[in-house]
């Protein structure tokens, strides 16, 4: 039925009934209003559909030409961009040790790959290390995103671009780079794929290195690249020469506790951590705890002299081995006669050290070892920190064996810190891997008297001059130190064939500035050493090599060699003023 006609009939009927005046005018207006409403509604519906189709069209274009589905899927952890900034790490002289570099990572949209076989072939030829079968499987998948290779070099990016393959894209990322590779691996540690520190300094200072402050002020370590290189080479050479399963070496400033070099082997490349076995990532210097053997006689004699329990002229009978509790304490370099206190140290007598400990007693031994830091967990700026192992109940047998370094285990850093205190005048500084600020006062603790420190320096020099540490000697520098050879625990006892051989030295001993510590794990004797693998034979030469290398680098001038400076120590003559005068004359 015609709408207009229908309206007319209705309104005419009402007009005839006298209901609507001016009916013709009103009928026309009502028709126009109804028609306008219909037109407006249709227009809005058309606009909405047009916008929807336009949006869909833009989306389809993006998917086809730009692959922006990556942005949409960025919530997936696989697509998370590694856009992070991490502060630099430098050595004490400002040499760069760790830095972030901008890189590009290659990914693909398999749905846009026209020929998966051809793409896989060209990519494996362009980027060595990619596996053709694995890559073909990925490129043939129904996924819209796959990683191909992370952190490409600029040259690699250029080569991939030159292939002109559709469906390949680059994501801007950052890569942590360690310019010195293996040299600082255990100290620096490494970062994970998320840019957070996983070990070493990187983990300890993770929060700081990600803060804005670190972008302007790099983290400065106490280590010196030159020192690190020297001790790295010396340790690697010794580990190789004596077929050791590992080792550690470190250099410490005796006057402030700064560590200038610290190496643990086996090691790893911080730029490619995954290529190394877990054992290589173990930091022997800070996390490994070991029975250090005769090096502990240094603390035994220092305790005895400082407490007044003994004096340099005292004599201890080392004629026969000591039998106690089913154990026998004997000497490796047996003199089978009474020994003066300096001779106990010179010949590294276990019997003599045990008898000195008997004079001091268990309580005094515990108190002094605690003061020397030997009973405290290592406090150092690294998450890999070793906890000393010692008896819960201190019996007589413990007293005697600990006197010569068995029955207690500590880290190499513990040893270096404690020996520094024995030679620097009696002050224990906390060890640190961070360069100390000149305007900040260093907290320290006096652990022995200055006079005791002077006596210990004489004893250390005696060991190198005419005792078990002769191979640590360096012409032009007065080196003092102590050997240590400890049998390793095997089952319920000790193994004579598996030893930890060490030497700790200080130089110049007349005015000590640096302590050098080297230990080799299970070294094997050679023809040159007569088959011996003791600390004096395998570790002392490494210390000598290190001292010879680092002394000029650190500005330590050579001194006139005077073999008679410490001659009074062996005889028990305790005239310190004459010795100090001789020291000064030597300087």
Residue 320 located in a structural domain: yes
Please indicate, yes or no, whether residues 525 and 425 belong to a single structural domain of this protein: yes
Domain finish residue from 192, 220, 248 = 220
Please compute the mean of the pLDDT values over residues 196-221 and round it to a whole number.
91
Q: Rounded mean pLDDT of the chain?
A: 86
Residue 71 located in a structural domain: no
pLDDT of residue 212: 77
pLDDT, tens only, 135-172: 988 898 888 898 998 888 888 889 998 998 998 998 88
Please indicate, yes or no, whether residues 443 and 478 belong to a single structural domain of this protein: yes
pLDDT grade for 327, boundaries at 50, 70 and 90: confident
Please indicate, yes or no, whether residues 114 and 253 belong to a single structural domain of this protein: no
Please indicate, yes or no, whether residues 207 and 233 belong to a single structural domain of this protein: no
CATH number of the domain within which 208 lies: 3.90.1310.10
pLDDT of residue 568: 41
Residue 210 located in a structural domain: yes
Per-residue pLDDT at 14 exceeds 70: no
pLDDT, tens only, 278-308: 999 999 999 999 999 999 999 999 999 999 9
Alpha helices in 62-199 (DSSP H): 69-72, 116-126, 132-139, 154-163, 185-188
pLDDT grade for 395, boundaries at 50, 70 and 90: very high
Residue 73 located in a structural domain: no
- Of the candidates 286, 279, 220, the residue with the CA atom closest to the CA atom of residue 252: 286
pLDDT of residue 383: 97
Q: Is 466 a catalytic residue?
A: no
pLDDT of residue 524: 96
pLDDT, tens only, 474-487: 999 999 999 999 99
Please, are residues 519 and 502 in contact by the beta-carbon 8 Å criterion?
yes
Q: Which of 143-157, 340-354, 455-469 has the weakest average pLDDT?
A: 143-157
- Of the candidates 578, 550, 549, 553, the residue with the CA atom closest to the CA atom of residue 566: 578
Q: Return d(Cα 259, Cα 223) in angstroms, integer.
A: 6
CATH number of the domain within which 458 lies: 3.40.710.10
- Of the candidates 418, 406, 409, the residue with the CA atom closest to the CA atom of residue 371: 418
Q: How far is CA 75 from CA 69, 72, 79, 157, 329, in A?
A: 11, 7, 7, 26, 67
Please indicate, yes or no, whether residues 47 and 104 belong to a single structural domain of this protein: no
Please indicate, yes or no, whether residues 266 and 350 belong to a single structural domain of this protein: yes
Please compute the mean of the pLDDT values over residues 255-274 and round it to a whole number.
96
Residue 70 located in a structural domain: no
Domain finish residue from 220, 252, 287 = 220
SS3 for 153? coil
- Of the candidates 364, 368, 310, the residue with the CA atom closest to the CA atom of residue 342: 310
pTM of the prediction?
0.78
Output phi, psi for 44, to 5 deg. Answer: -65, -40
Please state at what angle helix 350-360 crosses helix 362-371, rounded to 10 degrees: 100
Please indicate, yes or no, whether residues 256 and 380 belong to a single structural domain of this protein: yes
Residue 333 located in a structural domain: yes
How far is CA 143 from its chain centroid?
Answer: 39
Per-residue pLDDT at 193 exceeds 70: yes
Per-residue pLDDT at 5 exceeds 90: no
Please compute the mean of the pLDDT values over residues 527-553 and round it to a whole number.
96
Per-residue pLDDT at 578 exceeds 50: no
- Of the candidates 331, 359, 324, 366, the residue with the CA atom closest to the CA atom of residue 345: 331
Please indicate, yes or no, whether residues 42 and 180 belong to a single structural domain of this protein: no
Residue 547: how many CA atoms within 13 Å on its side-chain side? Answer: 33
Per-residue pLDDT at 560 exceeds 90: no
Per-residue pLDDT at 75 exceeds 60: no
Q: Return d(Cα 234, Cα 544) in angstroms, integer.
A: 9
Q: What is the 3-state secondary structure (H, E, C) of 265-327?
A: ECCCCHHHHHHCCHHHHCCCCCCCCECCHHHHHHHHHHHHHHHCCCCCCCEEECCCCEEECCE
Please, are residues 518 and 542 in contact by the beta-carbon 8 Å criterion?
yes
Residue 417 located in a structural domain: yes
Residue with the bigger pLDDT between 573 and 349: it is 349
Please state at what angle helix 116-126 crosses helix 154-163, rounded to 10 degrees: 150
Q: Return d(Cα 430, Cα 56) in angstroms, integer.
A: 67
Please indicate, yes or no, whether residues 149 and 106 belong to a single structural domain of this protein: yes
**Total of domains in the chain:** 3
Dig out the tokens for 266 from the structure.
Answer: 């086996």
Per-residue pLDDT at 312 exceeds 90: yes
Residue 345 located in a structural domain: yes
Please compute the mean of the pLDDT values over residues 329-358 and round it to a whole number.
95
Among the options 222, 264, 294, 502, which is catalytic?
Answer: 294
Domain finish residue from 220, 251, 269 = 220
Structural domain span for residue 209: 80-220
Please indicate, yes or no, whether residues 235 and 214 belong to a single structural domain of this protein: no
Cis peptide preceding 266, ω within 30 of 0: yes
Q: Which of 384-388, 406-410, 571-575 has the weakest average pLDDT?
A: 571-575
Please indicate, yes or no, whether residues 233 and 209 belong to a single structural domain of this protein: no
Instruction: For tokens 């210097």, name the residue.
Output: 285
Per-residue pLDDT at 77 exceeds 50: no
Q: Return d(Cα 178, Cα 277) in angstroms, integer.
A: 19
pLDDT of residue 438: 85
Please indicate, yes or no, whether residues 293 and 174 belong to a single structural domain of this protein: no
Burial (CB count <10 Å: 0-12, 13-18, 19+), residue 374: buried
pLDDT, tens only, 16-69: 444 445 545 455 566 667 667 767 777 776 777 777 777 766 665 655 554 444
């Amino acid at each position: 039925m015609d709408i207009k006609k229908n309206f007319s009939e209705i309104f005419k009927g009402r007009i005839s009934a006298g209901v609507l005046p001016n009916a013709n005018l009103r009928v026309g207006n009502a028709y126009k209003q109804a028609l306008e409403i219909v037109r407006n509604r249709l227009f809005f519906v058309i606009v909405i559909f047009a916008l929807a189709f336009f949006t869909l069209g833009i989306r389809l274009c993006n998917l086809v030409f730009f692959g922006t589905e990556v942005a949409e899927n960025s919530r997936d952890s696989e697509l998370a961009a590694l856009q992070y900034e991490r502060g630099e790490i430098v050595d004490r002289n400002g040499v760069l040790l760790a830095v972030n570099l901008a890189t590009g990572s290659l990914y693909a949209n398999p749905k846009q790959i026209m020929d998966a076989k051809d793409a896989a072939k060209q990519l494996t030829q362009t980027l060595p290390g990619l596996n053709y079968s694995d890559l073909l499987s990925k490129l043939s998948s129904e996924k819209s995103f796959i990683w191909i290779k992370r952190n490409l070099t600029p040259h690699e990016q250029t080569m991939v671009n030159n292939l002109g393959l559709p469906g390949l894209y680059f994501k801007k990322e950052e890569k942590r780079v360690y310019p010195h590779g293996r040299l600082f691996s255990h100290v620096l540690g490494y970062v994970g794929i998320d840019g957070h520190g996983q070990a070493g300094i990187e983990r300890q200072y993770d929060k700081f290195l990600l803060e804005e402050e670190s972008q302007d002020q790099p983290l400065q370590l106490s280590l010196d690249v030159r020192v690190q290189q020297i001790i790295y080479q010396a340790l690697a050479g010794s580990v190789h020469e004596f077929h050791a399963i590992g080792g550690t070496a470190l250099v410490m400033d005796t006057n402030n506790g700064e560590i200038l070099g610290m190496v643990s082997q086996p090691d790893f490349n911080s730029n490619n951590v995954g290529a190394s076995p877990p054992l290589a990532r173990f930091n022997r210097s800070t996390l490994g705890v070991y029975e250090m053997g005769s090096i502990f006689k240094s603390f035994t004699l220092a305790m005895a002299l400082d407490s007044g329990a003994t004096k340099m002229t005292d004599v201890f009978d080392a004629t026969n081995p000591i039998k106690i509790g089913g154990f026998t304490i004997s000497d490796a370099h047996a003199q089978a006669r009474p020994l003066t206190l300096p001779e106990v140290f010179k010949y590294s007598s276990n019997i003599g050290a045990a008898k000195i400990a008997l004079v001091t007693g268990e309580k005094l031994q515990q108190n002094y070892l605690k003061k020397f830091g030997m009973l405290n967990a290592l406090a150092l700026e690294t998450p890999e920190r070793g906890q000393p192992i010692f008896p819960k109940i201190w019996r007589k047998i413990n007293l005697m064996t600990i006197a010569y370094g068995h029955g207690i285990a500590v880290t190499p850093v513990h040893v270096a810190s404690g020996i520094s205190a024995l030679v620097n005048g009696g002050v224990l500084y906390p060890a640190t891997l961070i360069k100390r600020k000149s305007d900040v006062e260093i907290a320290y603790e006096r652990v022995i008297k200055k006079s005791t420190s002077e006596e210990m320096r004489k004893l250390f020099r005696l060991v190198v001059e005419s005792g078990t540490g002769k191979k640590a000697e360096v012409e032009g520098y007065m080196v003092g130190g102590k050997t240590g050879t400890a049998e390793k625990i095997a089952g319920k006892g000790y193994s004579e064939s598996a030893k930890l051989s060490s030497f700790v030295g200080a130089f110049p001993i007349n005015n000590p500035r640096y302590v050098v510590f080297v230990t080799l794990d299970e070294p094997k004797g050679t023809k040159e050493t007569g088959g011996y693998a003791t600390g004096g034979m395998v570790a002392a030469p490494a210390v000598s090599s290190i001292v010879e290398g680092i002394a000029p680098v650190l500005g330590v001038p050579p001194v006139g060699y005077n073999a008679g400076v410490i001659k009074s120590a062996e005889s028990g003559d305790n005239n310190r003023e004459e010795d100090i005068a001789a020291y000064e004359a030597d300087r």
